[in-house]
Structure 1
Amino acid sequence: MMRSKTLSAVGYAAIGAIVATVAWNGASALDAATASKTDTYRQLNLFGDVFDRVRSDYVEAPNEEELIDSAINGMLASLDPHSSYMNAERFREMQVQTRGEFGGLGIEVTMENGLVKVVYPIEDTPASRAGVKPNDLIIGIDGTDVQGLTLNEAVDMMRGPVNTTIKLQIQRQGADKPLELQLKRDVIRIRAVRSEIEDDVGYIRVTSFNEQTQEGLENAVRDIKAKLGSKAKGYILDLRNNPGGLLDGAISVSDSLLDRGEIVSTRGRNADETQRYNAQPGDLFDGKPVVILVNGGSASASEIVAGALQDHKRATIIGTKSFGKGSVQTIIPMGSYGALRLTTARYFTPSGRSIQAQGIDPDIKVDQAIPAEEADKVPSTTRGEASLRGHLTNENGTEEATGSPAYVPKDKAKDTQLQYALNFLRGGAVSEATKTAKPNTPQVKAN
């Protein structure tokens, strides 16, 4: 008994020591956390002091709103290249882009020599109905000279409430004097999807992933089926130079080609933040072979689609290595002040690959030559994610990769990647340069 009591006493003493140690460590951790919070408040006070000094003593009266914007963006820029602050104006513009529709005229424009140049008027819009033509120069908007405006300023002037009128002054090549056109704004949908028939192959070009992309894809496939019927050899989904967009858009497009299985997973800082997105039954493409074209300009949502269909062997990826943006940004509204774009997660393909700073490697690599006359205008290699300062590292420890070319010829006959894809779907011979590649075999749906 005495021995037993002695052992018990020793046991309690040991437990007491452990409890005391835990209590001591807990107190130390609490003190450290308190000290860290105190330091943070001191730093915030320092920021306030600096701001007050600049506001009161700078040689010229500063724009205080711009000072705050710059300070916030400076903080976010220290995190990664894709986290940023959008003031109210930039937030509204971002919402327009993701919605894919707005009140406007329906013109795709660029800036040339200080004037707004029409790239082309979108079909069945106020611009096309009024007779606006490609290469027209817009020199005046409602009596205001365009010379001296930025492209964004000119675009903002042309957009506005539906059914309101606007006057454009246009300089057309060959015309003796400028044309005066009066247009009425209408609801304009950004065409994220364009399609056409290449003999016996359906060609679908997706330029961005916004709220209109899925509907555009369904309409494109429906139109191709109506024209080709059972004669279709397959489909080409062209994601070259598609910078991405909405995660939901990428998931819905991937789901259109998959009957089952995971599409993508996102993983945040904490394990309980992991989300997995799975395909629902149904294949919009009826199991037909699919080729996806990618290049150095294919990023983010484009890489989600390419990675999912590559892992499930539902499509063959042709082209060059994609950009390598494997992070997810959450838009956090900040009331009337705008919104925060914050990187909150990494995404992973169904097989668990992280594409961050690595990109999608095509099943068949096909380079696109840059003509000599374009060589001084087009970079031979785009800057991939791995070349961006402060980018997130690849969580899988995969060696980071540089970008690849992003040149796409306007002339389809000179588009080597497109021509290869067409030949591939038609069962043509593989060239000497790529015959050693082992492409994924397109999966045929069995009912």
Structure 2
Amino acid sequence: MKTSRLVVFALAAGLNIGLAAPVFAQSPAPSSTPTSSAETYRLLNLFGDVFEQVKAKYVEPVDDKKLIEAAINGMLTSLDPHSSYLNMDNFKDMQVDTRGEFGGLGIEVTQENGFVKVISPIFDTPAQKAGLQPGDFITHIDGKSVRGLPLNDAVDMMRGKVNTDIKLTIVRKGEQAPFDVTLTRAVIKIQSVRPQVKNDVGYIRITKFSEQTFSGLQRAIEDQRKEIGPKLKGFVIDLRNNPGGLLDQAIAVSDAFLNEGEIVSTRPRDTKNTERYTAKDGDLADSLPIVVLINDGSASASEIVAGALQDHGRAIIMGTRSFGKGSVQTILPMPGNVALRLTTARYYTPSGRSIQEVGIVPDIIVPQSKVETVETGQRRSEADLNGALHNEDTTTLDAETEADQRRQDAEKVTEDDYQLARALDMIRGISLYGSFRSKS
């Protein structure tokens, strides 16, 4: 998706979201198509001449700072969809966001065909509660068209005070006409790890990769082990609609389930500076089965985790093809408390796959669909028949009753999430198969 740019709406600024690498500036590699020094200075002089003409003759007075910042941002955004200039407010909000708390709508977007496109709403935010979906196009903001606007300008239109309303006009595939959605801006505190116990399976939803993600994962697994006990059959890691985040957290989450081997490599223009990240011994899941759920809202750091566990055969990847963002952005602080977000490398899975524009293809493709239950009246069984033989083994009956109750409970918690229901089935199936093999 070459025309896209991933952004998160924050209280005071629009921030790029994706894969953030540690901030280390390196000496640039030689350009493959160098421009002579004389030509470079001629072009810089041309820029100065244009700037003076705009200042002197534009129909309205212009602010020098805004003009120069717009020129810088234009230079960076012309490189690729994810490079950009972060002014003082943008830079501050980005730092807050990676710590897991910011203000805004809770929506990650990109730009496509001149409109703002939703990549994913963040769980439990105004955008998610309002029903925004991946793939939605935002065509108007408070009645004003965003077609052709730079994404930063569209973000500026959505800025505002907490507890104020904003109206978005949405075009959605399958809907005959555009419709309006009103959201209330809020301070968003992202709990990046949201665990639940699904009877005998640990379910862990990771909404993004912020500074607390790995520690939250550790706590979730420890708590679920204590709560479920020896009946624990495995884990479902839900990365659906997770737009990415910090590279080191993606590596740590992958390492949590691997004992050895490469997790990911990042390859800059100068391949001599390629970095490879490898797993340390220790599997938090103790080799129990893992299913990872992904969809087209899973991007960047989410794809690193899914790709690493898939290449090592450590997890079954289930759902739909992921977003396909395979580039690394480095935050380069500049004088004046501003920064550049610059694409500095591509990342590759352990088998050497680049996910850029391709994404992770699940091992088992499961489109999302509501689980439909068929009402057949009261359940009938052999015990209902007249003259049925009585089973004297009450232990077996109790065990069967308990298992039946667990199945009913599982149906209740997954009745609106077909993909999750299939993931839980897969975990239990693998566990059952393993028990059969151990007995043979």
The correspondence for 2:420, drawn from 418, 421, 424, is 418
In structure 1, what is the equivalent of residue 236 of structure 2?
Answer: 236
Over residues 21-66 of structure 1, what are the superposed CA-to-partner deviations in whole Å (9 max), with x where a residue is unaligned? xxxxxxxxxxx96x71211111111111111111121111112222
AA partner of residue 223 (structure 1): D
AA partner of residue 55 (structure 1): K
Counterparts in 2 of 1:120 and 1:245: CA distance versus 1, 3 Å: closer
Counterparts in 2 of 1:108 and 1:40: CA distance versus 1, 3 Å: closer
2:347·2:354 contact (CA, 8 Å) conserved in 1? yes
In structure 2, what is the equivalent of residue 268 of structure 1?
Answer: 268
Structure number with bigger Rg: 1
Q: 1 CA distance for matches of 2:360 and 2:106?
A: 31
Measure how far apart 1:81 and its partner are.
0.6
Matched, 1:211 2:211: yes
Q: Residues 128-143 of structure 1 correspond to what in structure 2 (within 5 A)?
A: none
Q: 2 CA distance for matches of 1:267 and 1:108?
A: 34
2:206·2:237 contact (CA, 8 Å) conserved in 1? yes
Measure how far apart 1:69 and its partner are.
2.0
| TM-score with structure 2 setting the length | 0.62
The 4+ residue runs of structure 1 with deviation greater than 4 A are 107-110, 119-122, 147-151
2:370·2:416 contact (CA, 8 Å) conserved in 1? no
Counterparts in 2 of 1:352 and 1:121: CA distance versus 1, 3 Å: closer
Q: 1 CA distance for matches of 2:163 and 2:67?
A: 24
Over residues 263-312 of structure 1, what are the superposed CA-to-partner deviations in whole Å (9 max), with x where a residue is unaligned? 00111111211000011111111111000000001000000000000011
In structure 1, what is the equivalent of residue 316 of structure 2?
Answer: 316
1:240·1:297 contact (CA, 8 Å) conserved in 2? yes
Measure how far apart 1:215 and its partner are.
1.0
1:108·1:120 contact (CA, 8 Å) conserved in 2? no
SS at match of 1:426: helix
Q: 2 CA distance for matches of 1:215 and 1:314?
A: 21
2:318·2:364 contact (CA, 8 Å) conserved in 1? yes
SS at match of 2:429: coil
Q: Residues 191-202 of structure 1 correspond to what in structure 2 (within 5 A)?
A: 191-202=191-202
AA partner of residue 419 (structure 1): A
AA partner of residue 417 (structure 1): Q
The percent identity for this pair of structures is: 57
SS at match of 1:413: coil
Measure how far apart 1:191 and its partner are.
0.7
| TM-score with structure 1 setting the length | 0.61
The correspondence for 1:153, drawn from 147, 160, 176, is 160
Q: 1 CA distance for matches of 2:292 and 2:124?
A: 26
Counterparts in 2 of 1:428 and 1:220: CA distance versus 1, 3 Å: closer
In structure 2, what is the equivalent of residue 258 of structure 1?
Answer: 258
Measure how far apart 1:152 and its partner are.
3.7
In structure 2, what is the equivalent of residue 247 of structure 1?
Answer: 247
Report 1 or 2 for greater relative contact order, CA contacts < 8 Å, sequence distance ≥ 6.
2
Counterparts in 2 of 1:359 and 1:44: CA distance versus 1, 3 Å: same
Measure how far apart 1:109 and its partner are.
7.2
SS at match of 2:282: coil
2:324·2:357 contact (CA, 8 Å) conserved in 1? yes
SS at match of 1:68: helix
1:291·1:315 contact (CA, 8 Å) conserved in 2? yes
Measure how far apart 1:108 and its partner are.
7.9
AA partner of residue 348 (structure 2): F
Measure how far apart 1:227 and its partner are.
0.3
In structure 2, what is the equivalent of residue 116 of structure 1?
Answer: none
Matched, 1:289 2:296: no
2:322·2:361 contact (CA, 8 Å) conserved in 1? yes
Over residues 241-275 of structure 1, what are the superposed CA-to-partner deviations in whole Å (9 max), with x where a residue is unaligned? 10001110100000100011110011111121100
In structure 2, what is the equivalent of residue 380 of structure 1?
Answer: none
Q: 2 CA distance for matches of 1:94 and 1:287?
A: 36
Q: Point out the more displaced range, 419-428 or 280-289.
A: 419-428
Matched, 1:345 2:352: no
Q: 2 CA distance for matches of 1:412 and 1:37?
A: 64
Q: 2 CA distance for matches of 1:200 and 1:75?
A: 53
Q: 2 CA distance for matches of 1:420 and 1:150?
A: 41
Counterparts in 2 of 1:370 and 1:424: CA distance versus 1, 3 Å: closer
Q: 2 CA distance for matches of 1:300 and 1:416?
A: 24
Over residues 113-138 of structure 1, what are the superposed CA-to-partner deviations in whole Å (9 max), with x where a residue is unaligned? xxxxxx9699xxxxxxxxxxx99xxx
AA partner of residue 92 (structure 2): R
Counterparts in 2 of 1:226 and 1:298: CA distance versus 1, 3 Å: same
Q: 2 CA distance for matches of 1:308 and 1:428?
A: 20
In structure 2, what is the equivalent of residue 301 of structure 1?
Answer: 301
What CA RMSD, in Å, does the superposition of the two structures yield over aligned residues? Answer: 3.2
SS at match of 1:358: coil
1:85·1:339 contact (CA, 8 Å) conserved in 2? yes
